[in-house]
Amino acid sequence: MSKKAIIVIGGGLGGLSTGIYAQMNGYETTIYEKNPVPGGLAILIYTLFPYYVKKFLKDLISQDLLFYLISAF
């Protein structure tokens, strides 16, 4: 049987979260984002609060969740 696949439209926090959990549950996941970088509204937050966003990413790495996020693209 072929692996189930999903497509997520939009790489904001909602789309990225969906991608992570779909990948973790065995779905072949593709995220389409119209902008050159993912993140959506959260990118605006990064420009305002870079320290907290970097800490969040470090936490993701320490929990091995960044792997799922990257492999979804």
Ligand X SMILES: Cc1cc2nc3c(=O)[nH]c(=O)nc-3n(C[C@H](O)[C@H](O)[C@H](O)COP(=O)(O)OP(=O)(O)OC[C@H]3O[C@@H](n4cnc5c(N)ncnc54)[C@H](O)[C@@H]3O)c2cc1C
Contacting positions for ligand X (CB under 6 A): 9-15, 32-35, 40-42, 44-45, 48
Residue 1 or 37 with smaller CB distance to ligand X: 37
Shortest separation between residue 22's beta carbon and ligand X, angstroms: 14
Residue 3 or 14 with smaller CB distance to ligand X: 14
Give the pair of three-digit tokens for residue 38. Answer: 């993912």
Return the residue nearest ligand X (CB atom): 12
- Asked if residues 6 and 22 have their Cβ atoms less than 8 Å apart, the reply is yes
The secondary structure element, H or E, covering residue 60 is helix 50-62
DSSP conformational letter for 42 = H
